Amino acid sequence: MARVGIDLEAVESQLVKSAESLYEMLDKLLPEKEGVLEDRLIEAMRYSTLSRGKRIRPFLTIEASKLFGVSMSSAQRVAAAIEFIHAFSLIHDDLPALDNDELRRGEPSCHKKFDEATAVLAGDALLAYAFEVLADSQTHQDSGVRVELVRNIAQVTGFRGMIGGQMIDMLAPHNTMGFPEIVRLQRMKTGEFFAVSCEAGAILGKAPHSLRNALRTYARNIGIAFQITDDLLDVEGNRDITGKNVQKDKAQNKATLVECLGIEEAREHAVRLARQAVEYLAPFDSRADVLRDLAEFVIIRQY
Amino acid sequence: MARVGIDLEAVESQLVKSAESLYEMLDKLLPEKEGVLEDRLIEAMRYSTLSRGKRIRPFLTIEASKLFGVSMSSAQRVAAAIEFIHAFSLIHDDLPALDNDELRRGEPSCHKKFDEATAVLAGDALLAYAFEVLADSQTHQDSGVRVELVRNIAQVTGFRGMIGGQMIDMLAPHNTMGFPEIVRLQRMKTGEFFAVSCEAGAILGKAPHSLRNALRTYARNIGIAFQITDDLLDVEGNRDITGKNVQKDKAQNKATLVECLGIEEAREHAVRLARQAVEYLAPFDSRADVLRDLAEFVIIRQY
């Protein structure tokens, strides 16, 4: 059951604290400019990863890791790799040939700040670097754990996951998508990546499959609720608060659950998903309360 | 020492045979169209990977694997992953914002055949899929081997390797590059990826580091000689034979060793690199003769 009367400010402050701590790890892992010809690439990788963001996916990794006594250093390296992949996907999605978005997290998107070629390559480099970090022995002493992280994260990133979802998003105007197709799209685009971000903590902790699956399902639901809230903010939100342009989905004729179900029913669906998500946390004690509260946060956030 | 009087036709026929056998593995590993909305992505991934190509990088993996008794199935899965990454790099390099190339392997490049958005995403998906394949337990029973492949291959793909090299290539017209800078660029763009393609066979075979390093250095030299030959073909070659547009480097003001040293000296440098490469194969018996002959092939090829 969802907890009654969650302390929204407490969740937000935990997110902020976690994001600050992750920032240090991102900053440490990212290459530094070193007076070489490719410094522009490194600058773009840093620009797009270190810009402010909610850092919800890495937050899931870190909070799930805490449930299994995983070392903070391991958890943060995996969380950073997940954020690199998220940054890669935002850079490429914003490109003129894709969503053509000039604003991201309140700042010029990567290709506006640099140029298109640099944005393509910075996204590519972040994607490759994520797997380099995951595979490095500093991430976990057990190579079986590292390789499982690589495999699972690569799978939800690729054609079956985020990238496949983005392809559908690009083609959507030319197709008629109903409720089941949109739900499948949102699982691919957002749900599965949330799922693996959270499961990663359990993989690091060598948790049994039952608990891994519980965390996956929790986070998949959270992810889709998060996506619906994003789509609601696109319809109703304020650019000054969200830090990105609004009313884009309509302009781009994107298939969203808000458009499919209407505002009220979409909001109810997101609430239902968040409630269901919390039920999957039943095997965990009060240490999972942050994750329980997060389920509320993702649906009532204004940014 | 290089062998006197190599049989060029024999090398070519081995390359063709190996490429045919690899084709089956690529075809098997690549996803099939299955009547889903993202089929266009899968079609583009297949189009760009299954088109004809010399397949020299995967050939290095397979021939090196043979030196250590690695199973053909393991060797071919890794070779396929390497070819997926190579295909990714070609798709993105050809994009209008990068080299703006409409012809690749004698056919329309990916963004011409499909569109820019599909080409960006197909490249992304191939890159992610390569790591998924490498990390899968079918690639090798030992997770330590798989994770080392992921780490080493990710490293030479990313900002320190191919992608960093492509960034320099994009910026080169705005810089003055001398011999050392161009050599560094060619190591990043081509040399290190050749090196890891060959070393991968030794990693699969759990070979000692001395032999791994010997194969790396052999292949790095081959790779740079290959790149110089590419640049010579760009100046002197025939589009009908090479399958790509020629005289591009000059038009794009690219920094090449041919431009830096002149045609004759660049050709001599390539020959020197190929000769040196063969010397690193000294620890290996006649089973490495294919690799010895390959060193000659890369510098005298016409396509």
The interface predicted TM-score (ipTM) is 0.94
Q: How far apart are the first and last CA of chain B?
A: 26
Please judge whether A167 and B120 are an interchain contact, meaning their C-beta atoms are less than 8 angstroms apart. no
- The least confident of A69-73, A191-195, A197-201, A244-248 is A244-248
Closest CA to A85 of B82, B132, B71, B17: B132
Contact at 8 Å (CB) between B197 and B63? Answer: no
B75 Cα distance to chain centroid: 16
- Asked if the model's pLDDT at residue B2 lies above 90, the reply is no
State how far residue A171 is from chain B, nearest Cα, in angstroms. 8
Max intra-chain CA distance, chain B: 56
Name residue B104's beta-bridge partners: B107
Nearest CA in chain B to A91: B120
**What is the pLDDT, as a whole number, of residue A244?**
64
**What is the pLDDT, as a whole number, of residue B198?**
98
Give, for A107, the enclosing helix (H) or strand (E).
Answer: strand A107-108
User: Which one-letter amino acid corresponds to residue A135?
Assistant: A
* C-alpha torsion B38→B41→B43→B46, nearest 10: -140
- Please give the Cα distance from B191 to B161 (Å, whole number): 9
Which chain A residues contact residue B124 at CB under 8 A? 88, 92, 123-124, 127, 158, 163
Nearest CA in chain A to B33: A159
Closest CA to B290 of B17, B29, B49, B106: B17
- Please give the Cα distance from A114 to A110 (Å, whole number): 6
**What is the pLDDT, as a whole number, of residue B223?**
97
The two structure tokens encoding residue A244: 């990105």
Please judge whether A158 and B134 are an interchain contact, meaning their C-beta atoms are less than 8 angstroms apart. no
Contact at 8 Å (CB) between A266 and A257? Answer: yes
- Asked if the model's pLDDT at residue B244 lies above 80, the reply is no
The two structure tokens encoding residue A58: 């890495």
The residue behind tokens 């889903």 is: B36
User: Quick one: average pLDDT of B29-56?
Assistant: 93
pTM reported for the whole predicted model? 0.95
- Please give the Cα distance from B11 to B5 (Å, whole number): 12
State which of A34-48, A59-73, A177-191, B165-179 shows the largest mean pLDDT.
A59-73
The two structure tokens encoding residue B290: 């294919």
Interface test with B, best of A49, A126, A132 (most B CBs within 10 A): A132
Contact at 8 Å (CB) between A198 and A215? Answer: yes
**What is the pLDDT, as a whole number, of residue A235?**
86
Name residue A103's beta-bridge partners: A108
Closest CA to A182 of A196, A172, A194: A172
- Asked if the model's pLDDT at residue A9 lies above 70, the reply is yes
**What is the pLDDT, as a whole number, of residue B292?**
95
- Asked if the model's pLDDT at residue A168 lies above 70, the reply is yes
Please judge whether B147 and A170 are an interchain contact, meaning their C-beta atoms are less than 8 angstroms apart. no
Cβ-count burial A83-110 (b if 16+ within 10 Å, e if not) = bbbbbbbbbbbbbbbbbebebbeeeebb
The two structure tokens encoding residue B71: 């199973």
- The per-residue pLDDT for range A194-224, each reduced to its tens digit, is 999 999 999 999 999 999 999 999 999 999 9
- The per-residue pLDDT for range B195-216, each reduced to its tens digit, is 999 999 999 999 999 999 999 9
Contact at 8 Å (CB) between B133 and B139? Answer: yes
Please judge whether A177 and B37 are an interchain contact, meaning their C-beta atoms are less than 8 angstroms apart. yes
- Asked if the model's pLDDT at residue B68 lies above 80, the reply is yes
**What is the pLDDT, as a whole number, of residue B203?**
98
- Please give the Cα distance from B143 to A143 (Å, whole number): 6
Please judge whether B129 and A158 are an interchain contact, meaning their C-beta atoms are less than 8 angstroms apart. yes
Interface test with A, best of B167, B181, B188, B252 (most A CBs within 10 A): B167
Helices in chain A by DSSP H: which ranges?
8-29, 39-50, 56-67, 72-94, 110-113, 116-135, 143-157, 162-171, 179-186, 192-204, 209-236, 239-242, 248-251, 257-261, 263-279, 289-300
* Burial class of residue A179, CB neighbours in 10 A (0-12, 13-18, 19+): exposed
- Asked if the model's pLDDT at residue B303 lies above 70, the reply is no
- Asked if the model's pLDDT at residue A245 lies above 70, the reply is no
Residue B1 binned pLDDT confidence (cut-offs 50, 70, 90): very low
Q: Count of CB atoms within 10 A of residue A3's CB?
A: 13
Contact at 8 Å (CB) between B110 and B48? Answer: yes
Q: What is the mean pLDDT of chain B?
A: 92
Cβ-count burial B177-201 (b if 16+ within 10 Å, e if not) = beeebbbbbbbbbbbbbbbbbbbbb
In whole angstroms, how large is the CA radius of gyration of chain A?
A: 18
Residue A4 binned pLDDT confidence (cut-offs 50, 70, 90): low
**What is the pLDDT, as a whole number, of residue A15?**
94
- Please give the Cα distance from B139 to B134 (Å, whole number): 6
Contact at 8 Å (CB) between B163 and A117? Answer: no
Sign of CA dihedral B268, B273, B279, B284: negative
Nearest CA in chain A to B36: A168
